[in-house]
Structure 1
Amino acid sequence: MTVKPIVMYPAEVLEQPCEKVTVFDRKLAKLLGDMYDTMIEYDGVGLAAPQIGISKQIAIVDIDDHHGTIELINPTIIDSRGKQTDPEGCLSFPGIFGEVTRANYVKVRTFNRKGKVKFIEAEGFLARAIQHEIDHLNGVLFTSKVEKYIEEDELEQSEG
């Protein structure tokens, strides 16, 4: 697979709603593999297709837990509950972090790489990562939801 360059803000593709995927083929499977390799290379927990310059409703999330890699194709949040406020960052905004409030639980209707409908339920950090990536597919950037920006050294202290 191939590591792709990350598109940085203010690239237009990051702020536009993406097109639905209509063809589920080998090219899609290769793109998902490239996205995974790119996410790992840049030490991310999620990556949306617009972040590599492709305006399609495709994202992946892997928070390094028992869920493994979650592929989101044409995803829709069909239920959400609760609230959580925590720091977020984004590969398209290196060095920028901020507190964002999101739902603590989400249920998502999505497709797998073969075009079959599936449902994903997530809580906590996984729910946050999924919502962040789905926002990307709708042209919504986390910076539009930041309640308070956090300096990188503050972030490191809160993790340590």
Structure 2
Amino acid sequence: MTIRNIVRYPDPALSKPCEPVTAFGPDLAALQQDLVDTMRAAPGVGITAAHIGVFERIFVLELQPGAILTYVNPQITSTVAKTMRHVEGSVSMPGFTEELERPQQVTIRFQDMNGAEHEETAEGFHAICIQHEIDQLDGIFWIRRLSKLKRDRLIRKWEKAQR
């Protein structure tokens, strides 16, 4: 069990896109376990490798206790037009949240820990989490999805709390 340090906002590394995973084996399994341990310690419901300074396309979710979902090289292949609003935050900016609007359903293609390809359609909170984590893999920190006014206000509060 290894709990890794989490990259904190405003570290520029949070804007770095991740590279595809090409090696499926013990190193990837160790990274996946570190992600789970770090996410639980944070605490959070999802975490990407980028959150711990590893710029590979992998993230884990734990939407129900004990049910770990792992996505390697995920790509959104389709979304629906209908959206939903949900409060989001990040392990890289703990304690700070804001409401965002995202498509309420997504279909993704991804690989599992053995490299096998899968396609999955997710709805509701699960879909929101997938979009949030794929954004981070693409180097899009969640606050970039906020309006300038909301983002600036949140950043000011964050900076004040860090003093």
Mapping for residues 1-160 of structure 1, pairs under 5 Å: 1-64=1-64, 68-81=67-80, 82-147=82-147, 148=150
| Partner SS, residue 62 of structure 1 | strand
Deviation of 1:65 after TM superposition, in Å, equals 6.7
**Cα separation, 1, equivalents of 2:47 and 2:86:** 19
* Partner Cα distance (1:13, 1:54) in 2: 10
Describe the superposition over 1:85-110 as per-residue Cα deviations: whole angstroms up to 9, x where unpaired: 11111110122211111110011100
Structure 1 outlier segments of 4+, above 3 Å: 147-151
Structure 2, gaps ≥5 residues long: 155-163
CA distance in 2, matches of 1:104, 1:75: 18
Structure 1: which 5+ residue stretches go unaligned? 152-160
Q: Root-mean-square deviation (CA), in Å?
A: 1.7
Tell whether the 8 Å contact from 1:13 to 1:54 is kept in structure 2 after alignment.
no
Does the 8 A contact of 1:73 with 1:110 survive in 2? yes
Q: Which amino acid aligns with 1:70?
A: L
Distance change in 2, residues 1:65/1:128 (3 Å): farther
Percent identical across equivalent pairs? 36
- The separation in 1 between residues aligned to 2:36 and 2:94, in whole angstroms, is 19
Instruction: String of CA shifts for 1:34-70, please: whole Å, max 9, x gaps.
Output: 100111111201001010010111111111179x221
SS at match of 2:64: coil
3-state SS of 2:63 partner: coil
Relative to structure 1, the CA distance from residue 65 to residue 103 in structure 2 (aligned partners, 3 Å threshold; closer, same or farther) is: farther
SS in 2 for 1:7: coil
Q: Which amino acid letter does the alignment assign opposite residue 19 of structure 1?
A: E
C-alpha distance in 2, partners of 1:62/1:79?
A: 23
Q: How many residues align?
A: 150
Give the helix-richer structure, 1 or 2. 2
Q: What is the distance in 1 between the residues matched to 2:38 and 2:145?
A: 25
